[in-house]
Amino acid sequence: MRSATLIKVAGQSILKNKMRTLLTMLGIIIGVGAVIMMVAIGFGAKKQIEERINSLGTNMLVITAGSTSQGGVSQGAQSFNRLTFDDADMLREQSFLLSGVSPVVITHSQIIGGEGNWRSLIFGVTTDYQTIRDWWVESGSFFTEADLRAMRKVAVVGKTVADNLFPGGDAVGQQIQLRHVPFKIIGVLESKGQTADGGDQDDIVLAPSTTVRNRLSGRQFLGQILASAYSPDDISAAQEEIRAILRDSHRLGSNEPDDFTVRNQTDLAETAQETTDVMTLLLSAIASISLLVGGIGIMNIMLVSVTERTREIGLRLALGARGKDVLRQFLVESVVISLAGGLIGLAVGFGGSTLLGSITGWRTAISPLTVLIALAFAAAVGVFFGYYPARRAASLDPIEALRYE
């Protein structure tokens, strides 16, 4: 029997009992829809984490203080700080793999100006900070190397600071006061939004590192040094280059451990993606249980159908149909029911994920590969659970089947 004829006969048989067919497909519809929704949530979370990590910087490397121990007891990360401006200068001068290096002097301060005051983080950085963080000004301009050398009291503020101190007005050109030191705002940064842990990246003030060190912080050591590699492929090699330069700068012996830590955004991204992948697989596995339940429903209905159509099967066999023809016919019916349920389930999954995203504000994303896998799995369920009823129908004895009442 040709494939077209098989599908036509299967369709006619299925449409004879529309309500029963719909109830049979319900398990597949719920299963496929649930899988699509769960995967959409997982992919959406993964995309959102990737975007937030990428917003932190381009091929960024973060150098922070190392740890120390007292009496054999570790004091924890960043408990021993030896990072200096000289270290940043050496990295800038000796590295071949770094596109930018910026020391970061970190301090907190109450900012007075505009229509009130606002407490925020003050970062003393260099001009390379823009390249490293891929963070440009929305209005005004960034400070220059001349500003760094002259230790000018100029600042670039984040969107949150500008909106709170100068609501409805232009912050560029305004005066603010940081620890009784007057600064002039020369630029407002583009909005970066939240970090992966929910922090506000726009709640920040950037100023020349030389000015912050001498006028606000007074600290000899740096909170961190930021650097960026020329390309993602250079990140690992750049980390090793940084280690070699800083070990030489700190005069560490071959048996002495690093007194600093070098991290990159790739490690953070991989950890976050592994977490979301595990959660997506877990949610999908739970949702897939309903597909198995739907498959059992298909098998039960197909067994009922075989019983109801025993005389019809006997007549086909008596007229010359082969057992494999009957087997194929019932398998096609099972697969058609399963695939039809899968297609409806796809529509339910797409609609449900869109509705869920609009209600909760969660980001959802559906991969074309997920759609293909869901449909393939639905078809496989139809074949797997339809085979036993089809085999049973094909093995009927024509004479006994014709006598069946």
DSSP for 234-285 reads GHHHHHHHHHHHHHHHTT--TTSPPSEEEEEHHHHHHHHHHHHHHHHHHHHH
8 Å CB contact between 180 and 131: no
Instruction: For residue 175, give the nearest of 155, 200, 159 by alpha carbon.
Output: 155
* Distance, C-alpha 228 to centroid of its chain: 22
How far, in Å, CA of 17 to CA of 312, rounded?
16
Cβ–Cβ < 8 Å for 210, 149: yes
Alpha-carbon span 60 to 264, nearest angstrom: 6
How far is 352 from 30, CA to CA, in rounded Å?
A: 11
d(CA 140, CA 156): 9
CB 9 within 8 A of CB 327: no
- 378, 345 Cβ separation under 8 angstroms: yes
| DSSP state at residue 181 | E
User: Would you state the structure tokens that stand for residue 62, as one six-digit string?
Assistant: 């973060």
- Residuewise pLDDT in 10s, the chain (405 residues): 556 666 666 666 667 777 777 777 787 788 788 778 877 877 777 676 666 666 565 588 899 887 554 444 344 444 456 788 999 999 999 999 998 999 999 988 889 987 788 999 999 999 999 988 888 899 999 999 999 999 999 999 999 999 999 987 789 999 999 988 999 999 999 988 776 566 788 999 999 999 999 998 877 788 889 999 888 888 889 999 999 999 988 888 888 888 888 888 766 666 666 666 776 677 667 666 767 777 777 777 777 777 766 676 676 667 666 767 677 777 777 778 888 888 888 888 888 888 877 887 777 777 777 778 777 877 787 777 777 777 777 776 666 655 555
Q: What count of other Cβ atoms lies within 10 Å of the Cβ of residue 95?
A: 17
Buried b (16+ CB within 10 A) or exposed e, 225-248: bbbbbeeeebbeebbebbbebbbe
The reported pLDDT for the residue numbered 38 is 77
Residues 317 and 398 sit within 8 Å (Cβ to Cβ): yes
- Tokens, residue 30: 């719920």
CA distance 360 to 303: 43
Per-residue DSSP letter, 217: I
Tokens representing 292 are 């198995």
Tell me how long the chain is: 405
CB 244 within 8 A of CB 103: no
CA distances from 341 to 9, 15, 48, 200, 321 (A): 18, 14, 31, 45, 29
Q: What is the phi/psi pair of residue 231, to 5°?
A: -150, 160
Lookup result for tokens 């592994």: 274
* Strand-strand pairing, 181-189 and 154-157: parallel
pTM of this prediction?
A: 0.60
Task: Give phi and psi for 107, each to the nearest 5.
Answer: -150, 160
**pLDDT the model gives residue 399:** 62
Q: No. of H helices and E strands in the chain?
A: 13, 12
